[in-house]
Structure 1
Amino acid sequence: MASVPTVLRLLAASVKIAEKSGNIVRRILSSGELGIVEKENVNDLQTEADRTVQRCIVSSLYHNFPKLTVIGEEDDLDETVDKDIMETGFADDVMAMTCPEKFVNAPESELVMWVDPLDGTKEFTQGLLDHVTVLIGLSWQGKAIGGVIHQPYFNYQNKGAELGRTIYSLNGLGVFGLTDKKPPTEGNIIATTRSHSNKAVNDSIEACEPTEVLRVGGAGHKVMLLLDGVVHAYVFASPGCKKWDTCAPEAILKEKGGTLTDMHGSDLQYHKEVQRQNTGGVLATLHSDHSWYLNRIPASVKEALNPVKS
């Protein structure tokens, strides 16, 4: 295992950790003891699942990668290692892959993991379980290069179907766990926020001439709607989204040939010292013309969003 490059080992570990995290999420929901607290407002919640999963992810990553930088959404938690929830294994299929040459010598000390233990927390508490994802993103030199999206409740509405799905990627290796699907050839379906709307968000969506708007929770879920061919674009003209929301989804989307930028068309940055908010908003496309949407975002909206700290 020592001969396997760090980046590949990290992806292999993250796949196993994400799957373990999904088990924790389902167990806590089944217990009925969600332990809900408000962080900043009624739209910004934290549950026992958020807390326990972050402890699982952080302690599991540091167990095998002590020089790594891990930045999680729940930054005020006691990160005491709990061996009962730790995952120390590696996904065998990932370990057997050939690491892209450009990442072979990437040092552990320069790699940054962006973790959202439960993206779509409000929806989780409301029973909208298909909105929920576990996000583990990998960045190097400020760029999102790999990531894992785990959907703990994928297929939950299909009785008897296998529950849960894990999608992962590394730049240059491809995307795994996903079936290729394209959106309808007719129409323009846009995904946007369910809980954090405002005039700028609504004006931007209207300017993009949608035939349908899906207001849903979770950045991971919105990008999955793109990857699953449900929507044509993800438009969020607000600084409410954070780096841990977008790192893994961006890496996977781009590896499929998609685009994720802020509202100015600028790339998001993932250096460890970067501003945590995506201050320029988020615009994502896969099979659609990204510039078409960029050109329709009102100038007043772009001026109000800061592109420098994205």
Structure 2
Amino acid sequence: MAQCQPLLTRLIASSVTVSSQAGKIIRDIFTRGELNIIDKGVNDIQTEADRSAQNCIIESLSRQFPDVTIIGEEGPSRCEVPPEWIITDMDQEVLKIKLPNHLENISPKDVCVWVDPLDGTSEYAQGLINHITVLIGIAVGSKAVGGVIHQPYYESKETSSLGRTMWAIEGVGFGGFKPILPPVGKRIITTTRSHSNKTVQAALDALKPDEILRVGGAGHKVVLLLEGKAHAYIFASRGCKRWDTCAPEAILHAAGGTMTDFWGEKYAYDANTDYLNAKGILATAPGEQHSWYISNIPDEVKQEI
């Protein structure tokens, strides 16, 4: 049945299952306590969990979709991947969905998958495990059209099991969560926990928030928007990359929210684009007036990025 489904449907269905396996790898490594941290640069570290989760995701997806471009944060690896990490199952609920006509017959050469195997590595290394996510974003041409966010440490109140997987496809909808609108009468903004500077703070000050949530991970910040815990996600810096935002943008957009740069322009996600989100990140929750935030960020802040 699966092979009869369109490419995008199969990609999302596979990403849902493989992201869950990546989450298990992340939990297992944390439990063992052997993080094997490598310093990649200023405020940029990599752990054994980053490397292992990416190997799991890329090997699993590339075996099933050999003609699709896959770009991972941690770069290429020559390590042998254990057989139990290679996931070929697909989520059966996703396979049942009906795509809009323009996405039914896309070519593999027009698809780019952006993988952040462990978004929020600094927080993971510090034990702030609820901040982390696994991100798999799917672009067709330059546009983010689908994505998966997996939270390895999300605890279900109904089953007490660990892990939640959120997914979305443009023109179809979303699954794994129910959006909640943020509270009326106040403004809560989420922003970086570990990469703040005077420009980031100036952008926040201009928006006069009632509360600021400083947390790790782009995926986690967008989850806060979807859960009604924040009205906007503001990051007045060049530090974010395409693998940080492709999946969150697709899911947020499918739920009725918006993500752009500080000028209101969408980032491109084709395989040839620059990895750096050089003009900042501005994301707003469903129901929020995105244009208000753009117009109220001072020009000097925009020029400083």
Tell me the CA shift for residue 80 of structure 1: 4.3
Tell me the CA shift for residue 159 of structure 1: 11
Question: Partner of 1:132 in structure 2?
Answer: 132
Counterpart of 1:24 in structure 2: which amino acid? I
Tell me the CA shift for residue 183 of structure 1: 1.0
Tell me the CA shift for residue 112 of structure 1: 0.4
1:99-140 deviation per Cα after TM superposition (whole angstroms, max 9, x unaligned): 221111101122100000000001011111110000000001
Compare 94-103 and 194-203 and name the one that shifted more: 94-103
Contact 1:227–1:253 (CA under 8 A) maintained in structure 2: yes
- What 5-or-longer segments of structure 2 have no aligned partner? none
Contact 2:179–2:255 (CA under 8 A) maintained in structure 1: no
1:1-50 deviation per Cα after TM superposition (whole angstroms, max 9, x unaligned): 33211110111000000011111111111111111111102x21110100
Which structure 2 residues correspond to residues 232-247 of structure 1 after superposition, within 5 A?
232-247=231-246
Question: Partner of 1:259 in structure 2?
Answer: 258
Question: Partner of 2:32 in structure 1?
Answer: 31
Matches of 2:288 and 2:271 in 1, distance apart?
A: 31
The normalised TM-score by structure 2 is 0.96
Matches of 2:82 and 2:278 in 1, distance apart?
A: 35
- What 5-or-longer segments of structure 1 have no aligned partner? 306-310
Identity of aligned residues (%): 48
Contact 1:12–1:90 (CA under 8 A) maintained in structure 2: yes
The normalised TM-score by structure 1 is 0.95
1:17 aligns with 2:18: yes
Tell me the CA shift for residue 290 of structure 1: 0.7
Contact 1:55–1:82 (CA under 8 A) maintained in structure 2: no
SS in 1 for 2:3: coil
Matches of 1:145 and 1:251 in 2, distance apart?
A: 6
Contact 2:111–2:270 (CA under 8 A) maintained in structure 1: no
Aligned residues: 303
Question: Partner of 1:53 in structure 2?
Answer: 53
Which structure 2 residues correspond to residues 154-303 of structure 1 after superposition, within 5 A?
154-155=154-155, 161-286=160-285, 287-303=287-303
Matches of 2:187 and 2:96 in 1, distance apart?
A: 40
Question: Partner of 1:90 in structure 2?
Answer: 90
Tell me the CA shift for residue 83 of structure 1: 2.4
Tell me the CA shift for residue 296 of structure 1: 1.2
Contact 1:192–1:235 (CA under 8 A) maintained in structure 2: yes
Tell me the CA shift for residue 79 of structure 1: 5.5
Matches of 1:45 and 1:102 in 2, distance apart?
A: 40
SS in 1 for 2:186: coil
Counterpart of 2:162 in structure 1: which amino acid? L
Contact 1:151–1:165 (CA under 8 A) maintained in structure 2: yes
Tell me the CA shift for residue 175 of structure 1: 1.0
Matches of 1:46 and 1:76 in 2, distance apart?
A: 14
Tell me the CA shift for residue 173 of structure 1: 1.1
Counterpart of 1:67 in structure 2: which amino acid? D
Matches of 1:216 and 1:270 in 2, distance apart?
A: 25
Counterpart of 2:224 in structure 1: which amino acid? L
Matches of 2:87 and 2:140 in 1, distance apart?
A: 23
SS in 1 for 2:279: coil
Tell me the CA shift for residue 180 of structure 1: 2.6
